[in-house]
């Protein structure tokens, strides 16, 4: 697939992958109407021999594939090519490639056009976003290789742990025929409160050091995955 735009200073981008991130990047790139580019796309359902032909044309190669596939793919198909090779993993570091991790969650549903320019990128191996993602003007910051494991752990803790907890709450509430819409509103508001107030937004029995209520809560959660999680929170945060 190719999308040619006129202009004396343009990039030829080879976007590899067919997952959620690839879908967003493809759409995102086309929002940058002031940028001139030639877009080539490839995924594992296409002829593997085409990769070398596309890579020889590319100025930038974007690897929107799973973390475990990045290094093997690079070594099999891309080593020796002149193009800048960029991957989007927040955890992986390989000095042969540049990392541009978008600090965002991507689903099958595209975001509103005006949301994409707000997304932050963590860069490892390059300080200039425009050099590796032509046309992108997003906020970005440098991330050294030594800090990447901690950075990614924080991303997982912030982005995945709450959703896992909320999913357990939603399932238990639905099982007990409690109104899940009420919990949705509660989650929405406490998230807004945290973004505004940070640690001043904390409420509930752990914040109050209400040991009696905490013990009753833990007892009520018997037989669920939330019970052991609640015990861990009590141990770590009830000081």
* Residue-range domain boundaries for the chain: 2-143, 158-237
pLDDT at 1: 44
Residue 116's CB is within 10 A of a number of other CB atoms, namely 20
Residue 25's CB is within 10 A of a number of other CB atoms, namely 23
For 59, which DSSP code? S
- 9 pLDDT band (50/70/90 cuts)? low
pLDDT per residue over 195-234, tens digit each? 999 999 999 999 999 999 999 999 999 999 999 999 999 9
Q: Is the fold of 2-143 the same as that of 158-237?
A: no
Tokens linked to 140? 């970005």
pLDDT per residue over 137-188, tens digit each? 999 999 999 999 999 999 999 999 999 999 999 999 999 999 999 999 999 9
CATH level 2 (architecture), domain 158-237 = Orthogonal Bundle (1.10)
pLDDT at 161: 98
Residues 6+ apart with CB under 8 A from 213: 205
Region 15-27 average pLDDT: 98
pLDDT at 33: 65
pLDDT(7) > 50:
no
pLDDT per residue over 113-139, tens digit each? 999 999 999 999 999 999 999 999 999
Of the ranges 20-34, 57-71, 196-210, which one carries the lowest mean pLDDT score? Answer: 20-34
CATH superfamily entry for domain 2-143:
NAD(P)-binding Rossmann-like Domain (3.40.50.720)
Per-residue b or e along 53-75, where b marks 16 or more CB atoms closer than 10 Å to that residue's CB: ebbeebebbbbbbeeeebeebbe
Q: What are phi and psi of 98, to 5 degrees?
A: -100, 140
Strands (E), the chain: 2-3, 11-16, 37-42, 60-63, 84-87, 98-102, 121-124, 140-142
Residue 108, Cβ density class (10 Å: 0-12 exposed, 13-18 middle, ≥19 buried): exposed
- 35 pLDDT band (50/70/90 cuts)? confident
């Amino acid at each position: 697939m190719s999308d040619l735009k006129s202009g004396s200073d343009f990039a030829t981008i080879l976007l590899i992958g067919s997952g959620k991130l690839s879908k967003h990047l493809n759409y995102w790139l086309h929002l940058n109407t002031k940028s001139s580019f030639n877009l080539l796309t490839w995924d594992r359902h296409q002829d593997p021999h085409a990769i070398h032909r596309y890579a020889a044309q590319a100025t930038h190669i974007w690897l929107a594939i799973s973390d475990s596939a990045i290094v093997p793919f690079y070594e099999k198909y891309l080593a020796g090519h002149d193009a800048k090779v960029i991957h989007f993993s927040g955890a992986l570091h390989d000095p042969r490639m540049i990392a541009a991790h978008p600090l965002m969650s991507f689903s099958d549903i595209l975001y509103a056009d005006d949301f994409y320019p707000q997304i932050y990128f963590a860069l490892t191996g390059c300080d200039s976003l425009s050099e590796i993602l032509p046309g992108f003007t997003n906020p970005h910051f440098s991330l050294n290789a030594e800090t990447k494991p901690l950075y990614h752990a924080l991303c997982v803790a912030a982005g995945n742990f709450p959703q896992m907890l909320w999913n357990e709450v939603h399932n238990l509430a639905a099982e007990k025929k409690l109104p899940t819409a009420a919990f949705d509103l509660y989650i929405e508001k406490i998230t807004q409160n945290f973004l505004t107030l940070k640690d001043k937004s904390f409420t509930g029995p752990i914040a109050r050091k209400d040991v009696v209520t905490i013990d009753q809560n833990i007892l009520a959660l018997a037989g669920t995955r939330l019970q052991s999680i609640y015990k861990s929170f009590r141990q770590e945060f009830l000081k």
